[in-house]
Structure 1
């Protein structure tokens, strides 16, 4: 009888231990594409593209830009190359890579430590975790009904709200953006206690593309053009940026 009680008790402890373990998000390179915010850039971790611009070229089937074939520097040259055997072979390769990319899960990762010191704390009045960050005008793509992130506009659950304040500098504008994620106080406490190790992870599917332009003067009018992504999200997480353990999901 004692032996049976011991076995039952051991099983109970094992079940409790497993219940307390956090699940992890699979962010391996062969199963997903990641776009991670750093202090001054959005880093692309994707087998099909090394940057957002290259992914844009892939989705638009722009062979010369994707492979950086700068010798084809006019529309006529690019047209003739596209119709050549080499051009057709590369285009077919790109089609396969695009299919592979579209089959993967895509994540936008924003470490809380990369928000340059803006707010990241629970708001007792609104019952939301408020996460603030600044977006330069070259990466801000305003789309009604979407949340703005650097170089991304993502349509998320309407439960998450966004507040945007435009700040005009002497030569360029920026946008102080705060997203408000609803959660309980106990959920927020666990996040605040580990805030420096955590990140926002937004799963998304690419809907389309946009671009922003900023005019500068270099002996004449010159425009800096930045590719931006329009996407829709089924799920939002807060994860440990080192272990990928999930602390919260919505």
Structure 2
């Protein structure tokens, strides 16, 4: 149940005189079971990820994915975020996680033909943003790594292999643009917060020289995705400037 329900249940135990003993039992059970549950969840997420990858490689993949509920993908992302917040080192030590993040989370972020909803693909970007946020919190405690801008040992963003870190840039740029063109039919979303999260991920990736070099090659090449991204940034800047100038009249 929820934390409120748990607190109410513990209060009832306390009133019955069994509270201290029961709290110890619950605490021991949590200490023993939660790590095992996390390992089980990660293994299950890896299994589902392998299944999705297999389905995506089939000739009739588009028709198959029309029948698969969105939560099959988003639940994997939620498991990764939950484990990252609860115990980052467990993610780093699990051999299943790096391939799952590199191949599914990063590799499928640009699969618009299979994952047609940009909000499903954004759930993958949320995983990366969670990693970056936790890494930045850790880095803020160590001025040396923040000064040199290097990857700290044990950073969650290191779960992305080099190829995935380079390749995920274009899907993130495209998703940044796409989110501004869609409205979620069943949930209230904050497009500005979503775009800010994507920019945080990109900023973190661009600290790696090989990723920054890849972005430059993308810009020098066909550059369609990069051009649309830059155009969106300019439009946003113009909108914000126009809005700010309009509010000056209210100040007077």
Instruction: Determine which structure has greater relative contact order: mean sequence separation of CA pairs < 8 Å that are 6+ residues apart, divided by chain length.
Output: 1
Which is strand-richer, 1 or 2? Answer: 1
Calculate the TM-score normalised by the size of structure 1: 0.24
Give the structure with the larger helix fraction: 2
